Amino acid sequence: MADDVFRTVIEPFRIHSVEPLKMTTAAQRRAAAERAAYNLFQVDAIDVLIDLLTDSGTGAMSRDQWAAIQRGDESYAGSPSFFVFRDAVQNLFPYRHVIPTHQGRAAEKILFSVLGGRGRVIPSNTHFDTTRANIEFTAALAHDLVIAEGLDPRAEHPFKGNMDLARLDAYLHEQGDAVPCVMMTITNNSGGGQPVSMANLRGVAEIAHAHGKPLFLDACRFAENAWFVKMREPGYADAAIPDIVREMAGLADGMTMSAKKDPMGNIGGWLAVNDDELAAQCRNLLILTEGFPTYGGLAGRDLEALAQGLTEVVSEDYLRYRIRSTGYLADALEAMGIECIKPAGGHAVYVDARALLSHIPPLEFPGQALAVALYETGGVRSCEIGSVMFGRQPDGSEKPAAMELVRLAIPRRTYTQSHIDYVIEVFDQVRGRVSDLGGYRIVEEPPALRHFTAKFAPLT
């Protein structure tokens, strides 16, 4: 571990291979936004300068991960790369069955194809969008039971991703047999990348198990969550990160996972469960849609890269830098009066667009307006997490989301501090003309996950 006599938390790596960024003018960016129907998912990445759309699959792999790729064994069945991957997963998450998938949503699709269905209801602290969509696709319902502080952007709470335990208990009493499992998202992505405490997870596990329900982790950012536990939860300051991860894993009965997050992959995911019968059902579906159980939707080389990534992400030097670099952006925005979810999350800064663009009503999508303005002004791509993403109800009606956020997700090990300083400057410019920004309406949308493909038109 580093001496702690220096204030500057540096990137604990140096750059080994670089990618060029294309500079664009504001006029070019306005034209690109219009061509994309003001949906930033539809903008070509080449026209983006700093891409904070997501931290999913966008991280930089390490020298050792690229080296591991050379060890990839592409045997169809029983590849040694599978066993390397399985052992790396089980070292942190000791579940009996590890089932690789091409990404997290494939694991969700398989799990909820088995556990979901009409009449079923599934609680979580907050379901991520693909989780919710995969549950709803089976005609089951997804319910969010995060603590009240988790919905208040200004509330300072060390573990805003926690589940409301009293509500969970009441929910399980009320819904009884309709509940096939309880989910817990660590960290709580849709709720601001906020962590869950060990004590809360233990409480959730006790309640779920008392009702005879299995608990599954949506564990995409398990290492960031573990770092917050170490920093913030009494009794964990001296605990090793892998031990914290194993303790959390041991409270649950399985997990869905996107390896594009903390496992440092550009692709990948897995489903892991203890229950033999459930695993057998999931493997049967896996073979239909993903592939043979020793590769899932992945190449042997991907499995090797992920196994190596799992050893790197639990490094304390990495996690200290990671969490500090997110906090650095949040602190700078706060200092210029731009309200963010507090405290800053692990992988992203969530700007409160409702507060900044208070003249735009929720169903005119203030988050979308801010995201488009950041792109047009400085080529910074972010992601609305508000009424565009969550406003459409299963019955087709519109309801404002709990919060109107713009997420600035920080890819792992990808951008330097000067890139982030530039982002801060872009915000400063947008802030200066916030009252000129207008809302948007949706002119075309698909039935599910509309934020990826919906077309927008400016209202002014």
Ligand X SMILES: *Cc1c(COP(=O)(O)O)cnc(C)c1O
Interacting residue ranges for ligand X, rule: CB under 6 A = 56, 103-105, 128, 130-131, 185, 189, 218, 220, 258, 260-261, 269
Chain centroid, CA 330 distance in Å? 17
Q: Which is nearer to ligand X, 65 or 124 (CB)?
A: 124
CA angle 104, 96, 165 (to 5 degrees): 65
Using alpha carbons, select from 107, 62, 70, 15 the residue that is nearest to residue 308: 62
Q: Tell me whether residue 101 or residue 377 sits nearer to ligand X (CB atom).
A: 101
| CB of residue 46 to ligand X, shortest distance in Å | 22
**Which C-beta is closer to ligand X: that of 9 or that of 151?**
151
**Min dist. Cβ of residue 34 to ligand X (A):** 28
User: Is the Cβ of residue 227 or residue 427 nearer to ligand X in the bound state?
Assistant: 227
What distance in Å separates the CA atoms of residue 40 and residue 25, rounded to the nearest whole number? 17
Least Å distance between CB 272 and ligand X? 14
Q: Specify the residue, 108 or 376, whose C-beta has the smaller distance to ligand X.
A: 108
Cβ atoms within 10 Å of 310's Cβ, excluding its own: 25
State phi, psi for 340 to the nearest 5 degrees. Answer: -125, 165
**270 contacts 100 by C-beta, under 8 angstroms:** yes
Q: How far is the CB of 264 from ligand X (least distance, A)?
A: 13
Residue placing its CB nearer to ligand X in the complex, 262 or 376: 262
Closest CB to ligand X belongs to which residue? 104
Minimal distance, residue 5 CB to ligand X, in Å: 36
Nearest approach, Cβ of residue 221 and ligand X (Å): 7
Minimum distance from residue 450 beta carbon to ligand X (Å): 16
CB-wise, 258 or 311, nearer to ligand X?
A: 258
CB of 416 vs ligand X, minimal distance in Å: 24
Rounded to a whole number of angstroms, the minimum distance from the CB of residue 192 to ligand X is 12
The nearest distance, CB 253 to ligand X, in angstroms, is 18
User: Which pairing describes strands 405-409 and 348-352: parallel, antiparallel, or unpaired?
Assistant: antiparallel
Burial 355-388, CB ≥16 within 10 A → b, else e: bbbeebebbbbbbbbbbbbbbbbbbbbbbbbbbb
- Of 72 and 193, nearer to ligand X (C-beta) is 193
Give the other-Cβ count within 10 Å of 109's Cβ. 23
Minimum distance from residue 290 beta carbon to ligand X (Å): 12
Between 62 and 130, CB nearer to ligand X = 130
Instruction: Name which of 218 and 304 has its Cβ closer to ligand X.
Output: 218
CB of 347 to ligand X, least distance (A): 8
Nearer to ligand X, 259 or 426 (CB): 259
CA gap 223, 243 in Å, rounded: 11
Closer residue to ligand X in complex, CB, 131/368: 131
